[in-house]
Amino acid sequence: MVAHLAVSIDGATTGFEADQARFYAMATLWQEDVTLVGADTILAQESAVRTADRPGPRAAGPLLAVVDSRHRVHNLEDLRDLGYWSDVIGLYSDQTPARAPDSTTGELVAGYEQVDLAEALELLHRRGAQVVRVDSGGTLVGVLLSLGLIDELSLLVHPVVVGAGPRWHGAFDGRFDLRLANTEVFEGGIVWLRYCTA
């Protein structure tokens, strides 16, 4: 599993203008089978999705899996049509509020209150997923780090300090040893740091 994030020098994931074009162009590098996204990342893009083009699902694209134990995301069908993903799926828990009976969206249920991420990933793996890329503002990445589920960390570091705000590692306060795999410097002072778990 790879976590790819755009960050400030002080590790923030919001509060600055990220080079989105470069970020998403680089995200294609892993050719993931599943894009694992936090519900809050989806909710932050809700209005942009409403007005976006809808070319329809991309057959060769990854599966979009949204972690959503509180069922806060109600536009999964719209996301399917954006032209990035082949299909979408909600990851829920036993306690997730009921979904619409006529919903055409697939789902996996793992865990009691919150989604059991290790179990959900195992279920996705059984459906053939090999490479998973996490797209999160840090909270979900932090939980996955705590569970020891991240194999690769890719940080696109922007030359800005933003002070307070969410960090790429969420609430993780343990220790995580890394091995540098690659660095690259881009125009505008953006530095790409790529690490693997030690």
Ligand X SMILES: NC(=O)c1ccc[n+]([C@@H]2O[C@H](COP(=O)([O-])OP(=O)(O)OC[C@H]3O[C@@H](n4cnc5c(N)ncnc54)[C@H](OP(=O)(O)O)[C@@H]3O)[C@@H](O)[C@H]2O)c1
Contact footprint for ligand X (CB under 6 A): 5-6, 13-14, 18, 38-41, 44, 67-70, 114-115, 117, 135-140, 143, 166
Taking the complex as a whole, the smallest distance from the CB of residue 107 to ligand X amounts, in Å, to: 13
Look-up of token digits 């890719």: 154
Structure tokens at 115: 């989604």
Q: Which lies closer to ligand X via its Cβ, residue 44 or residue 185?
A: 44
> Nearest distance from residue 120's CB to ligand X, in Å?
9
Least CB distance from residue 70 to ligand X, whole Å? Answer: 5
Residues 6+ apart with CB under 8 A from 149: 1, 117, 118, 121
Please name which of 101, 55, 61 lies closest in space to residue 78, comparing C-alpha atoms.
Answer: 55
Question: In which region does residue 149 sit, left (phi positive, over 0), alpha (psi from -120 to 50) or beta (all else)?
Answer: alpha
- Comparing CB distances to ligand X, the nearer of 59 and 160 is 160
Nearer to ligand X, 59 or 174 (CB): 174
Cα four-point dihedral sign 105, 106, 112, 117: negative
* Residue placing its CB nearer to ligand X in the complex, 46 or 56: 46
Shortest CB 22 distance to ligand X, Å: 11
